Chain A
């Protein structure tokens, strides 16, 4: 971890109010997640308490406390996707990636699978988002083809 980078982030928010969330969002970009070291460092080099940092980091789903894969796959679990059998899609995706129960990141660190509440593309249900690209009207058989683009 580059402390210089972290120092720059901390100082960019100095003297401003309501900074904790954007500060942590920026800090998370450094390693893709908020490590204990990052959270401690921020607490020690700002006037924000570690308890507040941990409280916010664990409250919002966007903050991750574990290392994540190179590509993030967000599987939409919104209502329209649910009635279009997003569950089966998720199962086959996890199966395709060889994830066992409780795991969300592949052993090679290439993919992390997350479930998200709604991506707002309900008319294309079921939908997944890989990094910033959304794929709609999916079937179980299309999933493997999409993953190939990211290997």
Chain B
């Protein structure tokens, strides 16, 4: 092969960072002639902090990944590559090997490598080989045994053993069964499912087909949140291609097994990530959870036995069938096998997607794989598990990432969101943020969840406004206990976790807000004061013009001053200042 291979990461995060412009610039340069190259699109490589990125592989040479690519520099770069160079000086070179060194990529085996909308690319990467193996050589029971043996547990958050879940659905003797993929990734701070849906849709489809064969289902749904338009596009294309090749539909790969798969777009409700609510939504109703039992395996979608797994769970299946349960459970700890994908975000140097073996210490995920803190501000906490999870402090950074160890900290594994926070983050504000979220997203069915989260939010708002009382802390504990007990589904049962973990590890911060009327992180507007740094103020007058209470005075090109008596601490001056001269402390 004498072509230069050029790949551009074109997942929605890459596109948001400008990958489409970079792709176009490459196309234009190639169209101008003189360079023999093959240009390809791929999904999310997981190195989001370097987006937009391109990978260049000249014939017979190693691949170099360029990050933070500016469309304007593309033509020049390609000219030099065509002339036999792989320039490093003056460009951002992504340390791909180092970033991947501590990772084990099973779920992300193809994302960022293959062209997600090409079924041929997927097949060339051993795609649909597991399906062929299952249909040719394995009984339904053997498939379930293999998944049980692998130790795979549900990656949606709760961690229920997948093989056992399949067994329950298999056991039901009904004329109709369903398989559902929960792709309603709703946790704020989690984006791993999006990356797999966009970057390797066939791996999820193949996992679902194998599941359908094992449990005896002939119809399935992919329930995808509508906020992920690219994921939906790629899935539609993948479904059509899989059907055209005989991997879906009637007599799959010449067998007697039939399976039809549909896409269902979510309509925007976080609670639909709960499986009974999700099924209600597919049935066209308000997505409100139902009492279990009966479990979906007995009576699910339209009262038929139904197996629901999440995206990451399904993406593991084909790999396990191809490589065997033993290869899979060689990774991980006693009770958490395999790998887990985490979405690293927040105050971290290399945000993006990482896949590590279960049992990796949190410290390694954040400092080795994620590169540690981006600024001089020290680490304060990492938020795990989204609104159902909690904040783990620095003292617990040696906690291993497995279901049981994380649960012991008061957080949960959840779907894999990891938002890193530094000392500039107020933990009471974070608790308030999550309670605002759950309070908004509560479906309203259970009183404690509906009203209790609202009361908790009001208390947190009061504390952040400097009007808290010490008795508020007891009330928060009391409400937390009752909401957890009095709610039907996971949303309510876990809603107090962000408050409970911040109270457990950062109680002093709550007390500083209440007793000293002080926000140690300098976040809560009511508890800080705004001043102007004399060294940075250039006297542009912008802040004075933006101030709604005319609290700022000063002449053009002279230092401005904020009158603390008049200041309502709205922060408008700080937002307006282009010189970073307004200090909030």
Query: A21-B267, A61-B269 in contact; A123/B345 too (CB < 8 A)?
Result: yes
**Which of B286, B347, B430 has the largest number of chain A CB atoms within 10 A?**
B286
Q: Are B189 and A79 touching (Cβ within 8 A)? A: yes
Stretch at the interface among A3-11, A36-44, A52-60, A100-108: A52-60
Query: A80-B419, A118-B188 in contact; A60/B269 too (CB < 8 A)?
Result: yes
Q: How far is the CA of A92 from the CA of B227 in the complex (A)?
A: 24
Label chain B's interface by main secondary structure.
mixed
A residues 82-127 near B (Cβ < 8 Å) are 82-84, 88, 91-92, 95, 116-125, 127
Q: How far is the CA of A83 from the CA of B417 in the complex (A)?
A: 14
Task: Looking at the assembled complex, report how far the CB atom of A47 sits from the nearest CB atom of chain B, in whole angstroms.
Answer: 12
Q: Are B285 and A124 touching (Cβ within 8 A)? A: no
Residue A132, interface by CB 8 Å: yes
Query: A60-B268, A118-B188, A122-B191 in contact; A79/B386 too (CB < 8 A)?
Result: yes
Q: Are A117 and B186 touching (Cβ within 8 A)? A: yes
Residues on A with C-beta less than 8 A from B185 are 120
Q: How far is the CA of A137 from the CA of B68 in the complex (A)?
A: 12
Residue B511, interface by CB 8 Å: no
Residues on B with C-beta less than 8 A from A21 are 267, 281, 284
Task: Looking at the assembled complex, report how far the CB atom of B458 sits from the nearest CB atom of chain A, in whole angstroms.
Answer: 19
Chain A residue nearest to B574 in the complex (CB): A88
Q: How far is the CA of A25 from the CA of B265 in the complex (A)?
A: 10
Residues on B with C-beta less than 8 A from A61 are 267-269
Q: Are B226 and A121 touching (Cβ within 8 A)? A: no
User: Inter-chain contact count A-B, CB under 8 Å?
Assistant: 151
Partner of A25, one of B13, B267, B571: B267
Q: How far is the CA of A47 from the CA of B441 in the complex (A)?
A: 29
Q: Are A120 and B227 touching (Cβ within 8 A)? A: yes
Task: Looking at the assembled complex, report how far the CB atom of A63 sits from the nearest CB atom of chain B, in whole angstroms.
Answer: 7
Chain B residue nearest to A87 in the complex (CB): B571
Residues on A with C-beta less than 8 A from B528 are none
Residue A147, interface by CB 8 Å: no
Residue A20, interface by CB 8 Å: yes
Q: Are B189 and A122 touching (Cβ within 8 A)? A: yes
Chain A residue nearest to B570 in the complex (CB): A91
Q: Are B437 and A117 touching (Cβ within 8 A)? A: yes
Q: Are B12 and A134 touching (Cβ within 8 A)? A: yes
Over the window 427-447 of chain B, the binary record of Cβ atoms lying under 8 Å from chain A Cβ atoms (1 yes, 0 no) is 000100110010001010000
Residue B91, interface by CB 8 Å: no
Residues on A with C-beta less than 8 A from B254 are none
Q: How far is the CA of A128 from the CA of B365 in the complex (A)?
A: 28
Task: Looking at the assembled complex, report how far the CB atom of B387 sits from the nearest CB atom of chain A, in whole angstroms.
Answer: 9
Residues on B with C-beta less than 8 A from A124 are 13, 16-17, 48, 51
Residues on A with C-beta less than 8 A from B186 are 117-118
Chain A residue nearest to B269 in the complex (CB): A60
Residue A69, interface by CB 8 Å: no
Residues on A with C-beta less than 8 A from B441 are 117
Partner of A80, one of B268, B284, B346: B346
Task: Looking at the assembled complex, report how far the CB atom of B122 sits from the nearest CB atom of chain A, in whole angstroms.
Answer: 22
Residues on B with C-beta less than 8 A from A151 are none
Residues on A with C-beta less than 8 A from B267 are 21, 24-25, 56, 60-63
Task: Looking at the assembled complex, report how far the CB atom of A112 sits from the nearest CB atom of chain B, in whole angstroms.
Answer: 15
Q: Are A92 and B575 touching (Cβ within 8 A)? A: yes
Given A79-B417, A80-B351, 8 other A-B residues pairs in contact with their CB atoms under 8 A? A60-B267, A79-B386, A84-B346, A122-B343, A123-B13, A123-B343, A134-B13, A136-B17
Point out residues on B near A: beta carbons under 8 Å: 12-13, 15-17, 48-49, 51, 185-191, 194, 226-229, 264-270, 281-287, 302, 343-347, 351-352, 383, 386, 417, 419, 421, 425, 430, 433-434, 437, 441, 443, 571-572, 574-576, 578
Can you list 29 pairs linking A and B with CB atoms under 8 Å apart?
Answer: A17-B283, A17-B284, A22-B264, A22-B265, A25-B265, A52-B285, A56-B284, A56-B286, A60-B268, A79-B419, A79-B433, A80-B189, A80-B351, A81-B188, A82-B433, A84-B346, A88-B574, A91-B571, A91-B572, A92-B575, A118-B227, A122-B190, A122-B351, A123-B49, A123-B191, A124-B16, A132-B229, A136-B13, A140-B576
